[in-house]
A and B are shown apart, each in its own frame.
Chain A
């Protein structure tokens, strides 16, 4: 490791650094000894995991702060002529070794929902199930099976049990793929009807109280958040620090189904956030563009200028402020990172532009 008085980047010095600078233009063709040997960012790709190891790997999910991870690529975003789209039907993004983010192709379904797959020592958890029941249009089970098989080989945990939950059992953009898991061995499915769902998560004091899902060293908290759906729940994963909110809070046109419930749930969620290390709020869709306050219309199948998926948890406070403003009104309200629609058509437009937000015309696809 560099000592405290050593510069972290030393200028090229032929006496110290060996051969002259290479044709690649690198200042340190032979490496910079000042940077140390064991730098952050090293990733374990289990190439050297013993072939015939003994017993399952036990991973310690306790960590100081959120576990590292990376959304390394942009999301697939559909195409101008949807019939000619040849992207994968499901984009699989591995956030870290035990957390996967799946996205449905925009040209398979315009809602392009996100689905999350989390692993613990004893169980895997699938959050949401996508917008197509057909395994041909949306091979969710096949994809989840493939990821789980691969993960199970690396961890020597074959036949890991799976739990499938939904941020809303009634949302047809998130509950359709559930049927693909019917009859799957070792699989527990969250029931769709609201009363059964409450019993499933042991939320007897609905909408107060929380439930838990124990994945083995990684315990997910279930928080009731009705407001955009009568049966809406959010989930918190302390390992990645992700708060999964589905339709309740996401970078898009949030359609409030009941404003009293929405505000109460948001208040509860903010109290929860204040007591836990939330890194990002992870919603179920993206509809906002990469410029503030602009969103793609419904049914769009080509979204090349999407906003990022992840939201800063501080945005929940802004959400609460403006949720109170739309409460009791039939109103569309634009904010830089989300739009509230309360008691209006999903296609509602507004001429009111938020003060202090730059009004940028997004680039138009040709």
Chain B
């Protein structure tokens, strides 16, 4: 049992974790780092999304964007977006900084560090944050997790395998639950303490079985993975997805949420579909959505009785349609 307890010791949920985190605070104090950051504050910490994310290029071999765009939403929150010329999935990945730990959610769709140096990018972010805040990067524990078990969200995980002071999530449902210390998925809501900054995590199956939703109590960003995002939400299992939506609605009823953010953008600012696999999305919609968008989608979801693709005005709800089905037609058809 002992390794099990240690494995999830970072969760403030358990008594053991409370003791351990107390210890690490003590240790940190000995090494005389910068002052501890107060993440507890009234209201959401202010932050801003970029006017425009990198969004591919007409000719991929001529793409000169960085392998990942690193956007600092605020001083303690970075959001990474993979370049479409490195992977058409181009997922978004938040990087949350606490006093003791850093949480990376999602690792993109390229496996080899040689091809796409995610680890280097994350290390740079941690280093610059530590420089700004007077910390030693080696003291910051990195948690490498992913929103759900799909390859476009975990492919880069192995790059962190030999990184010191790092925990990374395994690729099974059991390991995912064990990583968060969940015993009653999906209803149970656990609290991850990054050191003064708490992230609430609970299950949101539907797109896949093994998926979680994440709420950052500092920025009030609700990160919904692939279960709800600005694009084609491929709903593999309707009832679990509907129940997960209900859980999200219940959550936003009781918690302040600044933005709802998914993993991808597959839609233009005018609501046009960018077909599956596209690598040039010049007029992309922003990645973040409002709570009203979530509520509106749920109202529409209540009326959905059978499989098909339904457009809410912000997202496509693809109820049990096959993985890459789009609403695309052959543009050259004629009578």
Contact = CB atoms under 8 A, between A and B. Distances in A.
Interface string B137-164: 0000000000000000000000000000
B87 to A, nearest CB: 8
Nearest to A228: B332
Interface stretch (A36-44, A49-57, A92-100, A294-302): A294-302
Contact of B59 (A132, A229, A255, A345): A132
Most buried by B among A109, A138, A229: A109
A285 interface: no
B275 A347 contact: yes
A279 interface: no
B329 A81 contact: no
B174 to A, nearest CB: 26
B45 to A, nearest CB: 34
B86 A83 contact: yes
B306 interface: no
A87 B59 CA distance: 13
A303 to B, nearest CB: 13
B61 A108 contact: yes
B278 interface: yes
Interface string A106-131: 01111000000000000000000000
A108 B59 contact: yes
A110 B85 CA distance: 12
B61 A107 contact: yes
B244 interface: no
A87 B61 CA distance: 9
A136 B333 contact: no
A193 B286 CA distance: 38
A171 interface: yes
A170 B62 contact: no
Secondary structure at the B interface, as helix, strand, loop or mixed, is: loop
Q: Which of B86, B327, B334 has the most CB of A within 10 A?
A: B334
B115 A258 contact: no
B330 A255 contact: yes
Interface stretch (B181-189, B293-301, B318-326): B318-326
Contacts of B327: 345
Contact of A85 (B61, B116, B278, B328): B61
Contacts of B63: 82-83
B115 A81 contact: yes
Interface residues of A, number: 41
Given A81-B116, A137-B62, A230 B334 contact: yes
A299 B88 contact: yes
Interface in B190-233: none
A84 B67 CA distance: 10
A81 B330 contact: no
B83 interface: yes
A83 B61 contact: yes
B333 A258 contact: yes
Nearest to A81: B115
Given A257-B332, A258-B333, A81 B110 contact: yes
A81 B85 contact: yes
Contacts of A136: 62
A257 B277 contact: no
B108 to A, nearest CB: 11
Given A83-B61, A107-B61, A299 B279 contact: yes
Interface string A216-247: 00000000000011100000000000000000
Contact of B325 (A83, A109, A345): A345
B330 A83 contact: no
B279 A82 contact: yes
B115 A80 contact: yes
Given A81-B85, A82-B85, A345-B327, A258 B60 contact: no
Nearest to A350: B322
Nearest to A345: B328
Contact of B326 (A80, A89, A258, A345): A345
A182 to B, nearest CB: 20
Interface of B: 58-63, 65, 67, 83, 85-88, 110-111, 115-116, 275-279, 322, 324-330, 332-335
7 contacts: A81-B86, A82-B61, A107-B61, A229-B332, A299-B275, A346-B275, A346-B326
- Report the 4 A-B pairs with minimum CB-CB distance, sorted nearest first: A299-B277, A82-B60, A83-B85, A137-B59
Interface of A: 80-87, 89, 105, 107-110, 132, 134, 136-138, 170-171, 228-230, 255-258, 297-301, 341, 343, 345-349, 366
Given A83-B85, A108-B59, A347-B326, 8 more contacts: A81-B87, A82-B86, A107-B59, A137-B62, A255-B330, A258-B334, A299-B88, A346-B330
